[in-house]
């Protein structure tokens, strides 16, 4: 009899656990410092709320392949200071195929997961919006990309850390630029968004900045730099966004041909994605993630957490703008370096 009662209770517990469902987190696309603090916050917030947290490894690829496991308190230990993402990431072309999305959905259902937190950029947002339309999944998207190009949010997790990496590099390059009386061109990441280059140029005291959002006038730039050379300037620093086609190479040739200054190009590349998350990125990761988990547990189903003028807000994925717009005040400040 006792055995029968125990068996009945175990069945009931299993049914209740299945009905209760669970919540998972994944990181998608390019990594950014601050993802690990977000993962730590996710695990701890879920466990504090009595929820069962799951980790999806290898991004959307892992979602398809079922690389999913329960998280424990131990998974949250010691990761807050680490750059990148402990659950790894990927860019998935398979996820564009309906059959692969169905497979991913089945992997989540198999584990009783009906809520998902996703950290990534605009491409990952689109993937999640389509996935949510085809399933009963509740989705929360958090902006996490150093490019800071997620529509609807003026800040993405990882941007501050990347800016500090760039600032340190430019400060170091300035030392050698002044020693050799050279022009140094520093190329930043950002895809078609010039945010990293714009802010880095302003805070590093660069003489020139080229970004996709502002037209460039090389004639007036030449006059401006020539005047400063006439008054004693011995070197120059230029910051160029990778979104300006052939921008760094073209500017290097321009320095040598138009101003007869020896020039060097430094492409910072993926070093900008690494490094221990800054204080601000750790804090904002906790704020973004806490709000996302709490809203999912309240029953909110398909939304993004956005930063608007420093305030966090919830917006439906379907209501997000399709294009980004840089802060017009910053554009005003940087325009003098572009012309």
Q: How far apart are CA 40 and CA 142, in angstroms?
A: 15
Of the residues 147, 149, 154, 160, which is catalytic? 147
Q: Residue 120 and residue 128: Cα distance in Å, rounded? A: 10
Q: What is the DSSP letter of 191?
A: T
Q: Clarify whether 31 is annotated catalytic.
A: no
Q: Rounded CA gap, 330 and 202, in Å?
A: 9
How many whole angstroms separate alpha carbon 7 and alpha carbon 20?
Answer: 20
- CA 329 to CA 324: how far, in whole Å? 15
Classify each residue of 183-212 as buried b or exposed e, where b means 16 or more C-beta atoms within 10 Å of its C-beta. Answer: bbbbbbbbbebbbbbbbbbeebebbbbbbb
How far is it, in rounded angstroms, from Cα 227 to Cα 232? 9
Active site residues: 147
């Amino acid at each position: 009899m006792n055995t029968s009662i125990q068996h009945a209770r175990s069945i009931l517990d299993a049914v209740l656990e299945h009905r209760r469902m669970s919540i998972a987190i994944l990181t998608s696309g390019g990594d950014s410092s601050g993802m690990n603090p977000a993962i730590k916050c996710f695990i701890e917030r879920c466990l504090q709320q009595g929820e069962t947290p799951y980790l999806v490894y290898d991004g959307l690829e892992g979602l398809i392949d079922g690389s999913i496991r329960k998280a424990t308190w131990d998974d949250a230990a010691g990761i807050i200071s680490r750059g990148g993402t402990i659950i790894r990431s990927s860019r998935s072309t398979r996820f564009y195929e309906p059959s692969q999305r169905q497979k991913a959905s089945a992997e989540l259902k198999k584990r009783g997961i009906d809520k998902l937190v996703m950290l990534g950029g605009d491409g990952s947002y689109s993937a999640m919006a389509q996935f949510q339309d085809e399933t009963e999944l509740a989705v929360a998207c958090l902006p996490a990309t150093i490019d800071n190009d997620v529509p609807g949010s003026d800040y993405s997790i990882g941007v501050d850390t990347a800016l500090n990496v760039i600032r340190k590099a430019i400060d170091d390059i300035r030392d050698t630029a002044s020693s050799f009386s050279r022009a140094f061109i520093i190329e930043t990441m950002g895809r078609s968004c010039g945010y990293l280059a714009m802010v880095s140029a302003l805070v590093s005291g660069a003489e020139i900045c080229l970004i996709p959002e502002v037209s460039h006038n090389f004639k007036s730039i030449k006059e401006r730099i020539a005047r400063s050379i006439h008054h004693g300037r011995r070197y120059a620093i230029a910051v160029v966004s990778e979104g300006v086609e052939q921008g760094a190479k073209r500017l290097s040739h321009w320095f040598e041909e138009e101003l007869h200054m020896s020039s060097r190009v430094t492409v910072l590349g993926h070093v900008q994605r690494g490094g221990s998350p800054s204080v601000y990125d750790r804090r904002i990761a906790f704020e973004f993630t806490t709000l996302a988990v709490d809203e999912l547990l309240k029953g909110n189903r398909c939304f993004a957490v956005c930063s608007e003028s420093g305030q966090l807000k919830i917006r439906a994925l379907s209501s997000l703008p399709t294009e980004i717009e840089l802060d017009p005040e910053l554009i005003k400040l940087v325009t003098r370096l572009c012309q």
